[in-house]
Amino acid sequence: MKGFKKLALVAAIAAPLTSVHALEAIDDSMLSDMTGQSGVTIDLETQVTIGQVKWTDEGSVNLNSISVGGFETQLTADNAYALSVNKAEQTIRNLTYQGAIAAGQSEEDARAAAAAADVTGAEAAVWAQLGGAADEAAAKATLNAMIGATGVVDTNTKLDNIRLVIDSNTSGDLEILVVTQSGFNADGSINPTGVAVPVDLGVDVGSVELEAQGANGGAVIASNINLDILLGPQKFVVHNDTSTYESGLITAQGYFQLADSSSLDLDVAGVSVKNLKVGNFLGDNALTGQAGAVDFTNSFATSDLNDYTQVGFAYYEVNIGANAADQLVMDVANFNADIQMDVEMGGASIGQITMTDFDVSGTKLTVYGH
């Protein structure tokens, strides 16, 4: 995401919002006190390639030419404006939360106050920071002058701009918050002067093939798998609790979007999937999001993740553990998304497929050997 870092002006747009919300800003030391924990922070930049992953039973299944890194992204006036307004709204909610906590309100009441905060002044704050623009069109024109008609293209293919905040709470739970370096401080609290642009995660697999025992290669099931994933905040907790599963419980939750630059070929069916998009952009949850679906404030300063659903991100929550029979159990507590793709068969388009409000919440998987 290095291309985004060139836009220091855009990153500063949402900073001076105390006049909009009439709340006193809280400094970093107070934010650190509110998180209540010291811990370890890791800033990550990496790119991983794997020649082949092979699973062998009697025959084998091979995953060939795997790459994990970033992908090319582009920041234009339109999405720079959306990010700036989104950040302004997020900051208002964060200040509301911090003000409520400082006033002695409970955690639950503070979160409710943040969710109900009036964010109608966010756009006006962005306009003011863009030279006193009169409206959205003027604001975008100013941004366009800053970054150019073609925007800023980030060709960096490394997985970067990731910050891991690791803590162990008083119950002995291991907590890992995965956020962006540009939008969050080292303790996991929101950086009100930063723009929390999503992390771009690119996963490519050259082919998935079957292989007979003693052979070298075989039928190709799928190929040219290109998944361009945008990550919002993620939280992983390894619970020190054996009441549900004998070896504890892992909870994973967060926000993501599969960008429409994703594609894959299903060779076994002669089908090509283009412009594959997964997120929260249609139907019941497109605008309202899933407010309160995830609590990121137990150990870290608040992050109003509902902002991510408002810009098209889907939410998931999965619980993973081992039962008494040492079987892997996966409970999908929450997953609701919209899916859209263009489909080709025999090299010719057969149109577009759209699934609105695809919901598999409550699904349970038990995995074991035989």
Does the pLDDT value for residue 303 go beyond 50? no
pLDDT band at 74 (very low <50, low <70, confident <90, very high): low
The rounded mean pLDDT for the chain is 76
Say which DSSP state 123 is in: H
Using CA of residue 229, residue 234, residue 240, residue 244, what is the dihedral sign?
A: negative
Does the pLDDT value for residue 176 go beyond 50? yes
| Per-residue pLDDT reduced to its tens digit, 135-148 | 888 888 887 787 66
- Cα distances (Å, whole numbers) of residue 262 to 43, 230, 268, 335, 356: 26, 11, 19, 20, 18
> What whole-number distance in Å separates Cα of residue 363 and Cα of residue 307?
26
pLDDT band at 150 (very low <50, low <70, confident <90, very high): low
Instruction: Give the side-chain half-sphere CA count within 13 A for 134.
Output: 0
Among 18-27, 125-134, 197-206, 329-338, where is mean pLDDT lowest?
A: 18-27
> What whole-number distance in Å separates Cα of residue 337 and Cα of residue 318?
14
Burial 33-51 (b: 16+ CB within 10 A, else e): ebbebebebeeeeeeeeee
Does the pLDDT value for residue 104 go beyond 70? yes
- The pLDDT, as a whole number, for residue 155 is 63
- The pLDDT, as a whole number, for residue 341 is 95
- The pLDDT, as a whole number, for residue 154 is 61
Average pLDDT over residues 68-91: 74
Are 173 and 286 a contacting pair, CB within 8 Å?
Answer: no
Angle between helix 122-129 and 77-102 (nearest 10) = 120
Are 5 and 197 a contacting pair, CB within 8 Å?
Answer: no
Q: What are phi and psi of 4, to 5 degrees?
A: -70, -30
Among 20-34, 67-81, 296-310, where is mean pLDDT lowest?
A: 20-34
| DSSP bridge partners of 273 | 264, 343
- The pLDDT, as a whole number, for residue 4 is 40
pLDDT band at 27 (very low <50, low <70, confident <90, very high): very low
Most confident of 10-19, 224-233, 286-295, 299-308: 224-233
Average pLDDT over residues 317-342: 90
Instruction: Give the side-chain half-sphere CA count within 13 A for 144.
Output: 10
pTM of the model: 0.69
> What whole-number distance in Å separates Cα of residue 67 and Cα of residue 204?
5
Does the pLDDT value for residue 268 go beyond 90? yes
> What whole-number distance in Å separates Cα of residue 207 and Cα of residue 266?
10
Angle CA 298–303–304, to nearest 5: 120
Instruction: Tell me, letter by letter, the H, E, C secondary structure of 351-365.
Output: EEEEEEEEECCCEEE
